[in-house]
Chain A
Amino acid sequence: MLKSLLETISDIGVMSQRDIRRYFRLPQLLITNVILNVVLLLLFNYVFGGAIQTGGVDYIQYFLPGFLVQSVVFGSTQTSVGISEDLSKGLIDRFRSLPMARAAFLSGRVVADTLRYLILVILMIAVGYAAGFRFQGGFFPAFAGVWLIILFGIALTWVGVFIGISVKDVETAQVAGFVWVFPLVFASSLYVPIETMPSWLQAFANINPVTPMVDTIRALSWGTSISSSLWKILVWDLGIILVCLPLALRRYRLLAQ
């Protein structure tokens, strides 16, 4: 029992090591991801910073929390592509013929992606600090905020895992992994206050998990009260994982059909 638990942990470790190496060896996967997000952040800060009214708050102070969330949301789209590649190249058959834990192939990817988000978020915060951003609530809210973003990333990664293992080829994974994140990012409180949207869009933005996520991080970084957004996002995280994880494992088992 203990042995099999230790083996499972070891298997997930070995599989995630493989995926982490992949991120460091295929520069487009990590570096361009970082560069894209940093460039976007700096562009927004210096180009739009003066033009957008943020109600007295410093522009970077308003935007960085949203950008942290956005970087993780966009980052999660790579998950499905990676999984799909392993399937189409036949590597999955090799892994499935090994006596490793059944969940290791998928979980290893999630662990590797978690690390990727952590690197991404810390880098973005560093760049934000250079551009004038400050966590005004102090260390613990900042610390909690980072982990809440990572947790959200983990939940979205399970969506990506499910998509990756369900689609037929890499191209489909690319598209399917990407389309659903745009409405999430833009129809939320991330870029503009929800009150400025038409009412039908407000309805969507209000149930969109990105909204409570961004609101929570803003509150944590500004040191203001969190309101209901914290438990909303925690319920979302849990709900997404509870739905997508079993679905993904089921698809994995169905590969034998």
Chain B
Amino acid sequence: MDEAIGVTTQSDSENTCPNAFIEVANVAKTFGKVRALAGVNLEVEPGIVFALLGPNGSGKTTLVKVLTTLLRPDTGTAKVGGFDVIGQAREVRNVIGLAGQYPAVDENLTGRENLEMIGRLYHLGRGRARDRAAELLDSFDLSDAANRRARTYSGGMRRRLDLAAALVASPPILFLDEPTTGLDPRSRLNLWEIIKDQAKQCNSVFLTTQYLEEADRLADYIAIIDNGAIIQKGTSQELKDCCGGETHVKMRLADRTQMQKAFEALGAIAPENMYQNPEMGEISFPAPDGTAVLSAVVRSLDAVGVELAELSLKEPTLDDVFLAITGHVAEEGPDTKTDMKSGSG
């Protein structure tokens, strides 16, 4: 069930960052009676943005915690950057940066002090930690608030400070647990840029999200998790191809009384399962060849004198994929859980 169904991994990508990969084998974790992870298998290539996509409670945070050495799996093994998360936790911590689901900043310290502290705990040295803090405050738009206590920061500012903290050591592998939840649209776009930039620098980004659009826009490789198991994985395109339905061509007639005429004319180029909505004057049908069909549509309708008001190709979305695989929709409200004390299970 958790193995990929007919989807290949990106094994042909260049191996320029040999240690920045993640391997997960049969990882399971149970809290009391709750099976948070039910045997997860996963491989993430170096230098890519990987998205773990799943609804609330599907086990995303638990997997991130296992991979960042915060939680010990009941069974299975996981390697991050070539190091075992249980046996070589310290080595793993040296190569990762983590921004958890909830911002973890020290409210009594200023933004600058927070970042300097993290830098020193990564053993960057005092001077380097200071420079790096200034650099990050600048790129996260926090310079003006740098010397204010984090207590006074807005939610968005805390989030940004938290993300900056994850980047302090320029880690080759970055874990971001729902990084854009609760961000305003502008900050979200900014963050997307930062994430893409990480991958360009050959760093791996492992992010979780409930947002299909985000996975689609950002990720080179996506795994869908539901009830603690990976139920599908592949590139965004592969997922759409395998289980998201096909591309549709969709048109609206200028004069909807010409419906029948158009329908007959299209019969030659369209498959059996044409769909029509006479009231709106709309016709659509699957078009796996994509754009090639558009000119054919125009030509056939022109020949019989039918005028078009609108003509477009509708790509399948990850929403379709998710719905098709899980039978339910993915995007729910943000997690409202407040008790974050780890290890309470």
Contacts and interface: CB of A to CB of B under 8 A. Distances in A.
Interface of A: 7, 10-11, 14-15, 17-18, 21-22, 25-26, 87-100, 104, 168-169, 254-257
B176 to A, nearest CB: 12
B70 A97 contact: yes
Given A92-B342, A256-B72, A99 B104 contact: no
Nearest to B98: A97
Contact of B121 (A14, A87, A88): A14
A25 B149 contact: yes
Interface size of B as a range: 35 or more
Contacts of A26: 108
Contacts of B93: 97-99
13 contacts: A14-B120, A18-B109, A22-B108, A25-B108, A87-B341, A89-B104, A93-B104, A94-B98, A94-B100, A97-B69, A97-B70, A99-B123, A168-B341
Contacts of A18: 106, 109, 117
Nearest to A26: B108
Interface of B: 65, 68-72, 90, 93-94, 96, 98, 100, 102, 104-109, 113, 117-118, 120-123, 149, 165, 339-345
A90 B70 contact: no
Given A94-B165, A100-B121, A21 B96 contact: no
A111 to B, nearest CB: 15
Nearest to A102: B90
Nearest to A91: B104
A97 B72 contact: no
Nearest to A254: B343
Contacts of A92: 342
Contact of A256 (B71, B96, B121): B71
A90 B341 CA distance: 6
Nearest to A86: B106
A99 B340 contact: no
B343 A257 contact: yes
A240 B107 CA distance: 32
Given A91-B105, A97-B98, 18 more contacts: A10-B123, A14-B117, A15-B121, A21-B109, A26-B108, A88-B339, A89-B340, A90-B102, A92-B342, A93-B65, A94-B104, A94-B165, A99-B121, A169-B339, A255-B342, A256-B70, A256-B71, A256-B72
Contacts of B100: 90, 93-94
A257 B345 contact: yes
A254 B68 CA distance: 15
Contact of A21 (B68, B108, B120): B108
A93 B120 contact: no
B342 A7 contact: no
B109 A90 contact: no
A253 to B, nearest CB: 9
A198 B342 CA distance: 46
Between A22, A25, A93, A96, the greatest number of chain B beta carbons within 10 A of the residue's beta carbon is seen for: A93
Contacts of B71: 256-257
B121 A97 contact: no
Contacts of A14: 117, 120-121
B68 A97 contact: yes
Between A11, A89, A98, the greatest number of chain B beta carbons within 10 A of the residue's beta carbon is seen for: A98
Nearest to A84: B341
Given A18-B109, A22-B108, A255-B343, A95 B69 contact: no
B299 to A, nearest CB: 60
